[in-house]
């Protein structure tokens, strides 16, 4: 099993960052790697069990199921159902924690998945760098990184 963990500090309060990332169908609005997204079967984007169907900018199709969503803990978890990456049993969690010293947010994005042993480093780098850190970098740009 591969474990990927990325954390960052975003110069905005956690509630503002959560408003930006909460929409399970909203990836194209904040993540630079996502071209489009839709929730299957017309379900609400915050309904546990709903499935988002989206394309990456390089044309890959990914389907993910929402497993958990907490406005109290500013967190969501999801599973990949289908993707071109060659991962199985993929579960990820995005969690925001208020930093009380200034209006900042500690952001964590983690995933666990299985894949072919020879691809572990490649997929770990892809998920941690392009997906997770790429998303955090976009959020920092959106909220005006001060440091």
Domains and CATH numbers, the chain: 2-142 (3.30.530.20)
Q: Mean pLDDT across the stretch 122-133? A: 96
Element (H, E) at 140: helix 134-142
d(CA 11, CA 34): 23
Both tokens assigned to 88 = 């199985």
Helix axes 14-21, 134-142, angle to 10 degrees: 120
Does residue 49 register a pLDDT over 70?
yes
The confidence score (pLDDT) of residue 126 equals 95
Average pLDDT over residues 87-100: 97
Mean pLDDT of 24-37: 96
Question: What is the reported pLDDT for 146?
Answer: 55
pLDDT surpassing 80 at residue 147: no
Specify which residues 141 forms β-bridges with. Answer: none
**How far is it, in rounded angstroms, from Cα 66 to Cα 92?**
10
Tell me the two tokens of residue 40: 């299957």
The span from the CA of 87 to the CA of 75, in Å, is: 23
Buried-exposed string 58-89: b where 16+ CB fall within 10 A, e elsewhere: eeeebebbbeebeeeebbbbbbbeebebebee
């Amino acid at each position: 099993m591969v474990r990927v963990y990325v954390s960052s500090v975003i110069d905005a309060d956690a509630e503002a960052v959560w408003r930006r990332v909460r929409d399970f169908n909203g990836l194209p609005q904040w993540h630079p790697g996502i071209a489009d997204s839709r929730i299957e079967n017309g379900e609400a984007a915050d309904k546990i069990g709903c499935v988002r169907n989206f394309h990456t900018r390089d044309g890959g199709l990914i389907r993910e199921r929402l497993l958990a969503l907490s406005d109290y803990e500013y967190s969501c978890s999801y599973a990949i159902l289908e993707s071109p990456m060659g991962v199985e049993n993929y579960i990820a969690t995005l969690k925001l924690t208020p930093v009380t010293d200034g209006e900042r947010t500690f952001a964590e994005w983690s995933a666990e998945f299985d894949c072919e042993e020879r691809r572990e480093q490649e997929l770990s780098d892809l998920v941690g760098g392009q997906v997770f850190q790429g998303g955090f970098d976009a959020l920092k740009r959106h909220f005006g990184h001060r440091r």
